[in-house]
């Protein structure tokens, strides 16, 4: 069931968004926007003024396991898809990101503090990775490599192996996410991503721009939250799974 939780009013500057659907404060898991079982949330602030931007869902170990399971379950179908079909989906994601550039840049500036011109540049930069890997994903060819042994032949063949874990930094919250996620998606892998806790908003609009006409239902799982201690140590509380 898609969940929602009580939260204060949003930052006034967010009213400038042309598409308010890009402003997300829940987790996108298995094709649905959800909150954690606890209903807890954490604050995301504007570094320029320390004003509250919004409150974002905080997930725990149980939700992390669900997100990883979703990535694992989606892997077989995503890997089996023709490279050209995956490329077409990634290409659509690239186009949707550019169409929403002004909104995505505004969200980045408000939560991360970059000048708006710098944020616009990063959205272009982030989208370029999606475009590049969409094209490269069509060329997952086997290669012949010169052998170091007489009478031997070596062939390199690239195959999708499973769920890929990625970590994104605070300073390029969009570009470093697409740089890693688009590469894995183009190769046929699914992804579990961990963005910086206080820079969640720039991460969360990406599945919004990728859902609908881009990625198929339940093909992407992205969630905001924080690292929490579990019996196995620190578990990533944020996930993206195609």
Sequence-distant (≥ 6) Cβ neighbours of residue 225 within 8 angstroms: 27, 36, 42, 56, 57, 58, 59, 60, 63, 64, 197, 237, 238
pLDDT tens, 108-147?
A: 888 888 999 999 999 999 999 999 999 999 988 888 888 8
Residue 21 lies in a domain: no
| 238 pLDDT above the threshold of 60 | no
The tally of domains found in the chain comes to 1
85 lies in some domain: yes
What was the pLDDT predicted at 9? Answer: 57
Integer Cα distance of 231 and 235 in angstroms = 9
Question: Among residues of the chain, what percentage have pLDDT more than 90?
Answer: 22
Phi, psi angles (nearest 5°) of residue 58: -105, 120
**Is 20 inside a domain boundary?**
no
Structure tokens at 234: 């620190």
Q: What are phi and psi of 234, to 5 degrees?
A: -85, 125
Q: Angle at CA 51, nearest 5°, toward 45 and 57?
A: 40
What does the mean pLDDT of the chain come to? 76
pLDDT for the residue numbered 223: 47
Under the banding of pLDDT at 50, 70 and 90, the label for residue 231 is: very low
In a domain, 13, yes or no: no
Does some domain include residue 213?
A: yes
CATH assignment of the domain containing 208: 3.40.605.10
Average pLDDT rounded to a whole number, residues 148-169: 87
Q: How confident is the model at residue 21 (pLDDT cuts 50, 70, 90)?
A: confident
Contact 88, 133 (CB under 8 A): no
In a domain, 4, yes or no: no
Of 126, 60, 141, the C-alpha closest to 93 is 126
66: which 2 tokens? 């669900």
Name the band, by pLDDT with cuts 50, 70 and 90, for residue 228.
very low
Q: What percent of the chain has pLDDT over 70?
A: 76
Maximal C-alpha separation, the chain: 71
CA pair distance 222, 114, nearest whole angstrom: 23
**Which structural domain range is residue 210 located in?**
31-40+50-235
Is 62 part of any domain?
A: yes
Asked, for residue 1, whether it belongs to a domain, the answer is no
């Amino acid at each position: 069931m898609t969940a929602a939780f009580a939260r204060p009013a949003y930052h006034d500057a967010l009213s400038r968004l042309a598409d308010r659907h890009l402003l997300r404060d829940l987790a996108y898991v298995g094709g649905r926007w959800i909150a954690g079982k606890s209903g807890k949330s954490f604050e995301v602030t504007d570094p320029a003024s320390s004003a509250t931007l919004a409150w974002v869902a905080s997930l725990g170990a149980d939700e992390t396991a669900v997100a990883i399971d979703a990535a694992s379950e989606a892997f077989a179908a995503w890997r089996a898809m023709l490279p050209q079909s995956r490329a077409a989906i990634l290409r659509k994601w690239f186009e949707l990101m550019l169409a929403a550039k002004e909104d995505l840049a505004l969200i980045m500036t408000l939560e991360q503090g970059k000048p708006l011109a710098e944020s616009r540049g990063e959205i272009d930069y982030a989208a370029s990775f999606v475009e590049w890997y969409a094209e490269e994903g069509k060329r997952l060819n086997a290669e012949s490599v010169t052998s170091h042994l007489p009478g031997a032949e070596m062939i390199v063949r690239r195959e999708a192996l499973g769920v890929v874990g990625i970590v994104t930094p605070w300073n390029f919250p969009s570009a470093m996410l697409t740089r890693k996620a688009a590469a894995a998606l183009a190769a046929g892998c699914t992804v579990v991503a961990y963005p910086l806790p206080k820079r969640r908003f720039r991460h969360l609009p990406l599945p919004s721009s990728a859902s609908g006409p881009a990625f198929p239902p339940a093909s992407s799982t992205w969630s905001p939250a924080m690292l929490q201690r579990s019996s196995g140590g620190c578990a990533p509380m944020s996930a993206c799974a195609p």
